[in-house]
Each structure stands twice: as C-alpha cells, then as structure tokens.
Amino acid sequence: MTIGSTPSSGNPVAYAQEDRVQSILQRQLDGLPTTPSTNRTVFDYVGKLDLLLIGISTLAAIVAGALNPLLTVVYGLVVRSFQKHANGVDDGANLSSNVSKLALYNVYLGIAEFVLIYIATVGFYHTGERITRNLRRVYLRAIIRQNIAFFDTLSPGEFTARITSDMNVIQEGITSKISTFLTALATFASAVVIAFFEYWKLALMLISTSLLIGGAEFLGAMYALKFSRRSSAALNQGASVVEETISSIRHVAAYGIQTAMRERYLKHLDLGETWGLKARLSVTFMIGVMNSVPYLSYALAFWQGSRYVVTGEMSGSAVVTTTMAIIIASFAVGRVAPSAESMVKSVVHAGVIMKAIARQSPLDPLTTEGRTLPDVHGDVEFHDISLVYPSRQSVQVLDQVSLHFPANKTTALVGASGCGKSSIVGLLERFYEPTGGYITLDGVNITHLNLRWLRQQMSYVVQEPVLFNRSIFDNILLGLNDLGQHRTMLEARELVHAAAKVAHAHDFIMALPQGYHTEVGTKGLQLSGGQRQRICIARSVISNPKILLLDEATSALDSKSEKAVQLALDSAARNRTTIVIAHRLSTIRNADNIIVMGKGVILEQGAHEDLMALKGAYAQLVEAQQVDSAMDGEANGRLSSTEDDASSDGKAGPCEMSETVNFHHDDYLANDHGPLHDSRPSFRTYFRVVRKLNREEVAIVLTGLLLCNLTGFVVPTQAVFFAESISAITLDSTRYSKLRHDIDFWSLLFVILSIFAFITWISQGICFSRSTERLTHKTRDQTFQSIIRQDIAFFDEKRNSPGALTSFVSTTATDITGLSGPIIGSSLTFIAALAIGITVSLITGWKLALVCIATIPIVAGCGYVRLRVLALFDQRVRKTHEEAAIYATEIITTIRSVASLTLEEYFLDEYTAILSRSAAQSMRSILKASALYAASHSFTFFCGALAFWYGGTLLAKDEYTILQFYVCFGALISGAQIAGAVVSYAPDMSKALHAGQEIDRLLNRAAQIDTQEHHQHPTIDHHGAIEFQNVTFHYPSRPAHPVLQNFSLTIHPGQFIALVGPSGSGKTTVLQLLERFYTPTAGQILLNGVDISHLYVNNYRQTFSLVSQETVLYDGTIRENLLLCGADRPLDDEDLLRVCKEANLYDFVVSLPSGLDTPLGTAGTMLSGGQRQRLALARALLRINSPVLLLDEATAALDGASERVVQEALDRAATRKTTVAVAHRLRTVQRADMIVVMERGRVVESGRHGELMARRGVYAELVGMQRFEGV
C-alpha cells in the first residue's frame, strides 16, 4: 500500500497497517524515544580528573574575584588617613607611615591575585580543551552510529559546521569566558558583601540598581539565545551548500553555475544575518543598561549616604568604601557582558550538539545486542518484503517481494533503473527497515542478529566506487573485518597484494610512482573511475566474505579490464552467496538464477537460457544490448589477449606523491603564483581585510568610532565627579550644609552622566552590531566566491578537501569578529577612556599622574605578549581541529561504505588519535599565556599600592590636596583596570588576527585559470573547429609523468568523436582539458583558430555541456537541480518536461505526487543510480545553445531499456551538436564519425567503426570482448 493513501473506510486492519508502517518510518527519521539517561549535558562527559581541576579552577577564580573588591576596603582606610591628616588629627609622618602599611596590603593582594588567576586560567583552558576533545569524539560516535535514514536528511556541510565552528564556540564558552565570568561574578558578590558590611541600609538601597542590571541581563540573554538558535540553523544550512558546491567543483566550473550556487548560499546567509543582528541587538541593550545604571548607583549612594553622614549613622570613609565597592562591581559586570554573549552562543550550540548525541539509533552498528551464528552458510530469503523510504514516503519502492538467494549460488538482479534492485541490497545490509515482511539469514530473522556481525558477513561493492583519502594500500586493507588484530607488515602486504591481483589492479598500482603508497585523494579522484572500481573490488575480496554483494561492480571498467575482473569475480563467487546487480547482462550470463524486476515487483526469474526462451522482459533487455552484428566474427583473431594493457600506463587523474600528508591549515592557501605573505598575523593585515570587506559600512563604522570616543569620556568624567563627591562627603561636621549642597549637585550630574552613557553605549552597539553581522556575512560570501573561482588543481590537493574548505569558510567568518562588535566597541571605548583619563590626571596633578602612568605600559605589555603566545597556541589548536574536521567529514560523506565495511570503531579510534596529537604541546602554551594573563590582573593591585604610597608622600609634604589625589587615583586606577579589561579580550583578538591573515591569503590568491578575468578575448565563435596540437599534459602533482603525449586531434563542427581505450589511457583527461580544468604542459588547444587560454573562460565553457561518469545532484527538488544547468535564458516547466522526455525521465517525474517539486535529498540519494544519471542528462540537454556535448560514460549506470532510449536521445542531440564521448560500452559509439583509440596518452588508432574492425587492431579486440556470446 502506498503511504499517504486512504485505507478503506471502516477497515480497522487497514488502519492498523497504516499506523504500523508510519511508526516504522517515523522511528527511522526521529530515532528511538530518549530516556532520562540519554538526555545529558556537556558536563556529563567530564572525567573525574577534569571535575577536580574544574573545582580547583572555579574556587581559584571565585577567590580571585572576591579579593579584588578588598581594594575598596584599603581605599577606605586610606581615605580615613587622609581625612585625619586634613583635619589636623595626624601629622605628615603618621600619614606617611599609615599609607605605606596600606600600600603593602595591596601588594599582598596582588600576589594572591596572580597565583589564583594563574591557577584558574590554566585549569579552565586545560580542562576546556580536554572536554571539547571528548565532546567531539562523543558527537562523532553518536552521529556515526545513526541509521542511514538519518543521513538522508543530514548534509555533510551541516555536520562540518557542528564539529568545527560550533565546537570552537563551546570550547571558548567553557574556558576563557567562564573564567572571566566567574571572576567578575565573585568580584560583584564580594563588593556587595563589603557594602553591606559598611552599612546595610545604604547597601540595601543600592541592591535595587543591581536588580535592574540583573533583569536587563536576563532579558538580553533570553532573546539573544532565541535569535542565536535561528541564526545558527540558517548558517548550518548554508554550510551544506558550501560543502556540496566544493564537492562538485568540476561540475560547477563546467556548467558555469558559480553565481547560481552563490545565490543558493546567500539565501541562507541573509536569513542568518537577520537573526544574528537581532541577537546582537539584544546583547547591545544588555550592555547599555549594565554600563549606565552603575552611575545611578553612584548618585543614589552619595545622595543618600550624605544624609546618613549628617545624621551620624555613617562616616564619610564608609560611604567612600561602599561607593568604591559599587565602582568595582560595576566594572566587573561590564567585563561580564562580552563573556555573557559568548556563553549564550555556547549554550545554543551545546544544546544542538547534545540533542544529536541523545538521539537513539533504531539500527545501531555499535550495539552489542543481537545474536551471532556459529556457522554461516549464506542462505538469504526475503519474505513478502515491502519498502517505503522514510524521506520519500509517497513512493512504494518494493511491494510484497519474496526472494530466495541460495547459499553458495550466484543470483543476479536485473531490471530498469529505479525498480528496486539496489534497495534489495540496502535492506540486506539493514540500511533501512522494511515496512512489511522480514528477511532471514540461514533461517534466522536478521533483526535478531547483531548488526555489526551481520554486515561483517558481507562485502559490498557499490555502483559508484568510494575510496577514502589515504593510500591505495590502506584503502584495500580497510576491507578486513579484524583491523584490530595484530599483523606484521609482511602479512598485511601479502593480503593486500593478493586481493589486488584478484581485482586485476596490482599491475597498474605498481606502475604508479609511489605504488601502493600512492594517495588516492578526496573520494579517490586522483585515480580514474576504472582504477577506483578495481581497488574497491580488491577491498571487498580481501576479507573472504561469505556473502558478496556487487552493485554494478564493473560498470566503470573498460572491456579488457571488465573481462579480466569478471573472471576474478566469478572465481571469487565460488563457495559463497553472491548477489549481483547488473545492467551489463554479459556479466551475469552464468548466474545460477536471474531475477528480473520492474516497479518494485518480480517480473520473471530463472537461468539465462530459460529466460531467453520465454522471450519476455529479460530477452528484451538482452536484445537491447546486442552489439552490431558486423562485429561478430571480425574480432575473433584478437580475443585471446585479456591482459590489461592499461595497467602499466598510470592513471587518468592527478596523484598525490607523498606517502603521508600532514594537514597545515595555513599552508593550504599558499600559491606559488601569488604574493608572499608573512607567516605571522598582524593588525595591519587584519584591518586591511576588514576595510576591504566592510567598505560599504564605512559610515556606520565611523559613527561607531565617534560614539566610542564620546563614551570614552564617561569614565574620566566619573572619576572627577567621584573625587568631588568624596571631597564633599568627607567635610567636617561644621560644614554639613555645604556637604549637602555639593552632594546634591554632583548626584544630579551622575544621573545626567548615566543617561549619556546609556545613549552612547546603545548607539555604538547598534552601529557595531550592524557592521559585525555584515562583516560575517561578507566574509562567508567572499571566501566562498574566492574558493570556487580557483582552478581545479587547487582542489586536487589533499589539504584542500571539501571538509577543510567548508570548515575554513565557517570558522574564519566567526573568528574574524573577535575585533568587532561588542569587543571592538568595548575596547575602543576603554582605550578612549584611558587616553582621556591620562590627560585629566596630568592636568590635575602631573607628579602622581606620571608615576601611575608608568605602570600602565607594563600591564599593556603583558597583554601584548600574551596575545602573541595565544596566537601561536590558537594556530596550533586550530590546525589540529581542522585536520580532525576533514577526517570526520570524510567519514560522514562516505557513511554507507563506512557502515558496510563496519569501520565505525576503527575510524573513531583514528579520529581520537588526531585530536590527542597536540594535547601535550598545547599545555606549554597554556602555561605561558596564563602567567601573562594573571600578571595583567595582579598589576592593578601593584598600581594601587604605588599610587597610595606616592600620593600619601605628596600629601604628607602638603604638595597635593585630597581632591588632586582622588582625581588622579580614580582616573588612572580605572585606566589600569581598563587595560586589564582590554587584555581579557586577547583570545578573541588572536583568533581574529589569524582569521584576517588566512582570509587575506585566500582573497589575494591568483588562480591560473580565473573565471573572473574579463580582459581576455571577449568574442568566441562557439561553433568553430576544436583542435589539439601536439598536446602534452602532466597533472600538477605528477610533473614527471605525462598523461597525454603529443596528442593531436581535430574536432569539426557537427562531428561525433568517440574516445575509447583502456582505463587510465587519458580519455577523461582530454575532456578535462577541453573544459579548461587544467592548462596543457605543452602544445595548444584551439577553438576556431584561437588558443583557448586567450579566451574568457566562463564564455568559453558555454561551448560545452558535460555529463560526467559520476552524477552530480544537489540537495533540493528535481526542478532546482534541472535549473542548475547554466542556461543562457529563462526556463519554464515546458522546457524542463521536454528534456525529461528526451532523457527518459518524464514518466518517473509525473508519477511522483510532487512532480518536479519532489525533493531529492543530499546528493540525490532518493533516486536510483540510473535515475540520477538520466536527470544529469536532462540537465545537460537544457544547455540548448552549447554546441558541444561532452559525455564521460554518460549511460554507464543505465539499464538496457533506458540506455537504448537515452542513447536515441543522445543520437538526436548529436545531429545538432558536436559530440565528444568517452565510452567503454562500444555499442554506444558505433555510429561515431570518428573513433579515437587511446593507450598511454597517445592515439593508436582512429577511424570509423567499420574501418577499425577491418584493421583487426586494438579497437577490434575491445569490441570482441563485448560480444554477447551465445545469444
């Protein structure tokens, strides 16, 4: 029954069936119900040692924060001493002695502060790194154990963003930010306690302002959290677009859809910017309140305190101590604000991560539950199996199918694309749950068997070969089920070599410069399709599985290779259960049973001869695959040669040369052709990049800077007001009338100052929030654009994998804001305040001012050195995390192969090893940075001690008045605190500087083949002749090994040129050079007599429509994928449906409930291989004005019937287009105007089919191998 149909009215059985099916589907989408034990927090993954360190660090941070307000107590005692001296109670000698003693108290507090801050910083940094390292591992473990339906809706880009930028935000929130938060919070609490101790009535009144600040923090954080979640979701969707674009960069370049992919990305960026701006404005409101309300506290404190002084309830020094405590508390709250923003983001991202970790997979490959059978015979049976995919619930894929795969027999599944063949294998691998029926292995329901054990009994070779980014040797070795078992290198080598020989891969591997140690690159793209397929086959047979699953295992091989490999597979299939999915019916002629499927049901089954006698569906498929009868008998003279001549010629793709490649994030943007860059980040580079990116926001930024300067007046002005208030409130009892008058006046000015501070803080916050979000938006946009404009050789390098570049786009955009928004606003305001404070102090009392000013550079110097240490530390950590992210992303993008090979635990162990690699090295940087950070904090106390001592000396000599001392002390001690506050932003600044350096390097990288260069030849005659003149080509990574050698070929308009030959002979390379993916090493390629290197590449590429061997589809609907064709005119549904008919896709599309608007899932996983290929063909045919059609095995994945229809469409297209086709199925190119036979990068034969057959040469041999004998 099709999901979504309505059961018969009143039929309870039908309703129950529908509910059961829906339950199965929903379980696969949502996972099993979570339990309290699965709903955890980040700190559930903290070890005992980490808990101990966190406890010590927390205690140290709290005590350090609590010690800070004790400065106010000392200050109050100093005020009392000054007051006694002013009133004639103490002489100068007593004053000097008392002040010296109090100064020593400050020194002791400073030493204690240094030790405590050091302990807290080291502890939080160390445990933060350990916790997030563990969290990364737990998150990957949670993701990797999910069922395949989960990955149908999870894009690799979203996963990359989670495990890189999201984890970085979490780490920051539980390290530097939480340390700052706890210290400042303890400072605030200690200050309040001191205020209560001095006089509880006044303290109780001032609590009202604290509640106001707390309410603002709560509201700001609540809305910031809400908006940050939405922004994060949008940006993660954008990261998916980045990942799929970079993963398919050849297709993007060939079709010229860079702009279209950017527009898809911008949709998500725009939404993320909208929500991100709202989140920042929420924080701006919070900061505005926290930096203005304290001045209301000062007004209230002096106004009410003066009344208590007049009535005798308090002394003037007690009011000063209370007020100073409020000052310290206010600064503490101000320092919390930026940390609060980071902690809010940390909570948001942690919530998403923990939700993913809590998801319980219904098909868990790591569970130990389930039976294992002592002896496996391999008898597999399907009982009334029905299947509906969870992400495409409107389509019935299998409908009550019953099948039997006898033990030790070979059973073949054939039929049209999309009929359910691959779904059979997917169900046996338990990638999905059937919606009806059950499957047994040796009579045991496979749902009762342990999932990991079940998959280890099978080896699965998929239609599109999947290799991992490592050496050929390692890729083959991954086929072993017992990787944890110790083997000597000799034993492992013997196993690998034996498997490679079975797969007919040993010879071509040994011909490579690095042999088995050759790196295959991302997705194995450094090798040709046939070479990748043979390595996959070697990997599948190395474990000697009981059940062998082959899904078009030889589809990517040339005739010679296919024949040899097929013999090897036939040999490997002996004494094991083999299930073969095939479109090339010649490969399954000897199968014990052939099952013909159509639209999810079995049409017929039997041996080859029996099915041919029926003259039914199978016979029609066979008939469609007949090679022209002229081939019969002509090639017999050369049929004896089955050796793969291509095995010694290398390969068709670039190959990495190093045996081991270490990832260096700072190196991957390096370019020999671009400018050189200093390896050390600098403010100059950073601000150059920001100025370039934020050019349109110059007015907003300048307004913000002006407001920062205005806000900078607040603190020095407050110091003057404060000094005047102290002078007034310490007047003796005979002058209480003047005391009350003066205090009323200065309290009013404090109120006005509070209003001014609120307006300026809010205004600058709005400016910087806007400019920061635009900066983030443009950074993502510009880095994405710059990456996709690079030449293809850039992406061939291992360090430039899709995971690395996706992570780069997300992480740098986040890091570059470390010198913008609230941080840059606060820093610039504090710097302005410091400058104004110094000026006021010099005017008021230059002697004391100069002494105090001398201490500020020491504090700033500590901060600068710490910034440099942190920069190196962040760089090292980032390299490690980027390397780990690349590795994790590769696992997720190849999850079906990982699951089939049961490599989950193996890859998790490797991932953990990568994360742990730099742990010991980072500790040294943490120790250095923490010492400097602690020194910058403790110097506040040392500065106070120096000011007390020298100020007391000046007062004792009657050189200064109390007012002069108060003004200088208030302005400059605040300045020292400000310097410490600026230094606290050092982690964000160091990340910003590194991000600026890396972005600058990317934006200035010059691509050799630049899609944005417009100075080249503007006019192109797309219909001219194409000519290769003595072209020699080496891939950039293999300069010593030519892929093409003196290759010459002329392609006239309207011709159909076929390129045939063994795998690795350079056929696909010809197409890549035509598309200008690379530049020839020697020789020229001409279009209408013009060297194509002189043509504007985007216009030139409009000449071609390319259909690659491996289909490229994007997460979206059928309509959206078709429209990504780079057409030069608007397209309507009529155009889309027309090409669907030409590509034999129309019936499938109209059968879908949503038609063209049907979502395809990530990389088109909702379609079969044949359906994906036909959709890619339809998209190519939409490029109506492209006169040249490039076909790289365009029909390789199609069944016989579909291939015939599509081939007819291609033949029709060829009559109005020049066609260059790479083909292994020679029947598809019989009608070519010229067939070019290639070997080892050279043309060995060329001519029409009949001519080449008459020569009985290489081509005739290839044809002979494709004869379907006995038919």
Residues in the chain: 1271
Q: What is the pLDDT of residues 800-823, one digit of tens each?
A: 888 788 888 888 888 888 777 566
Contact (Cβ atoms closer than 8 angstroms) between residue 608 and residue 589: yes
What is the Cβ-side half-sphere exposure of residue 725, based on CA atoms within 13 angstroms? 31
pLDDT at residue 719, rounded to an integer: 83
Between 263 and 1036, where is the model more confident? Answer: 263
pLDDT at residue 648, rounded to an integer: 35
Alpha carbon distance 314, 334 (integer Å): 29
Instruction: List the one residue out of 30, 355, 38 whose CA is nearest residue 166.
Output: 355
Instruction: List the one residue out of 991, 1007, 1010, 1008 whose CA is nearest residue 999.
Output: 991
Residue 375, burial from CB neighbour count under 10 angstroms (0-12, 13-18, 19+): exposed
pLDDT at residue 1042 tops 70? yes
Residue 166 DSSP one-character state = I
Residue spans of the domains in the chain: they are 42-362+678-1001, 380-449+471-518+527-623
Q: pTM of the predicted model, to two decimals?
A: 0.65
What is the Cβ-side half-sphere exposure of residue 815, based on CA atoms within 13 angstroms? 28
Q: What is the pLDDT of residues 921-962, one digit of tens each?
A: 677 777 877 887 788 778 778 877 888 888 888 888 888 887
Tell me the one-letter amino acid at 1084.
Answer: Q
Alpha carbon distance 412, 245 (integer Å): 36
pLDDT at residue 736 tops 90? no
pLDDT above 90 coverage of the chain, percent: 16
Q: What is the pLDDT of residues 522-575, one digit of tens each?
A: 777 778 777 888 898 899 888 888 899 988 777 666 666 677 667 767 777 778
Strand partners, 719: none
Strand residue runs (E) in 552-592: 577-581
pLDDT at residue 233, rounded to an integer: 87
Least confident segment among 22-26, 215-219, 1194-1198, 1229-1233:
1194-1198
Tell me the one-letter amino acid at 33.
Answer: P
Long-range contacts of 53-56 (CB under 8 A, 24+ apart): 53/123, 53/126, 53/127, 54/123, 54/124, 54/127, 56/119, 56/123
Alpha carbon distance 66, 70 (integer Å): 8
pLDDT at residue 659, rounded to an integer: 31
pLDDT band with cut points at 50, 70 and 90 for residue 435: very high
pLDDT at residue 673 tops 50? no
> Taking all residues of the chain, what is their mean pLDDT, rounded to a whole number?
80
pLDDT at residue 639 tops 50? no
pLDDT at residue 1003, rounded to an integer: 87
Across the range 72-77, mean pLDDT stands at: 82
Q: What is the pLDDT of residues 582-638, one digit of tens each?
A: 877 877 888 899 999 988 899 999 999 999 988 888 888 887 665 443 344 443 333
Across the range 509-514, mean pLDDT stands at: 86
Q: Is 592 helix (H, G, I), strand (E, B) or coil?
A: coil
pLDDT at residue 593, rounded to an integer: 93
φ, ψ of residue 1231 in degrees (nearest 5): -90, 10
pLDDT at residue 1024 tops 80? no
Alpha carbon distance 1178, 1191 (integer Å): 13
Contact (Cβ atoms closer than 8 angstroms) between residue 424 and residue 386: no
Alpha carbon distance 1100, 1102 (integer Å): 5
pLDDT at residue 127, rounded to an integer: 86
Q: Topology of domain 380-449+471-518+527-623, per CATH?
A: Rossmann fold (3.40.50)
pLDDT at residue 278, rounded to an integer: 92
DSSP result, 1006-1075? PPSS-TT--SSB----TTS-EEEEEEEEE-TT-TTSEEEEEEEEEE-TT-EEEEE-STTSSHHHHHHHHT
Residue with tokens 């998801």: 359
Between 493 and 875, where is the model more confident? Answer: 493
pLDDT at residue 249 tops 70? yes
pLDDT at residue 1260 tops 60? yes
Least confident segment among 57-61, 703-707, 1159-1163:
1159-1163
- Return the structure tokens found at 1271: 């038919």
Least confident segment among 182-191, 628-637, 1063-1072, 1261-1270:
628-637
pLDDT at residue 150, rounded to an integer: 87
Across the range 1083-1101, mean pLDDT stands at: 86
Across the range 201-230, mean pLDDT stands at: 81
Instruction: List the one residue out of 460, 624, 591, 467 whose CA is nearest residue 530.
Output: 467
pLDDT at residue 403, rounded to an integer: 92
Tell me the one-letter amino acid at 545.
Answer: P
pLDDT at residue 434, rounded to an integer: 93
Across the range 640-662, mean pLDDT stands at: 36
Contact (Cβ atoms closer than 8 angstroms) between residue 387 and residue 423: yes
Alpha carbon distance 185, 69 (integer Å): 11
pLDDT band with cut points at 50, 70 and 90 for residue 669: very low
pLDDT at residue 628, rounded to an integer: 40
Tell me the one-letter amino acid at 991.
Answer: K
- Return the structure tokens found at 881: 């995390």
pLDDT at residue 757, rounded to an integer: 92
pLDDT band with cut points at 50, 70 and 90 for residue 464: confident
pLDDT at residue 558, rounded to an integer: 66
Which of 56-70, 875-889, 1211-1225: highest mean pLDDT?
56-70
pLDDT at residue 657, rounded to an integer: 32
Instruction: List the one residue out of 454, 456, 500 whose CA is nearest residue 474.
Output: 500
Instruction: Considering the domain delimited by 42-362+678-1001, tell me its CATH architecture.
Output: Up-down Bundle (1.20)
Q: What is the pLDDT of residues 678-687, one digit of tens each?
A: 456 777 888 8
Across the range 1246-1270, mean pLDDT stands at: 78
Least confident segment among 20-24, 111-115, 671-675, 1217-1221:
671-675
pLDDT above 70 coverage of the chain, percent: 84
pLDDT band with cut points at 50, 70 and 90 for residue 10: low
- Does this chain's domain 42-362+678-1001 share its CATH topology with 380-449+471-518+527-623? no
pLDDT at residue 487 tops 90? no
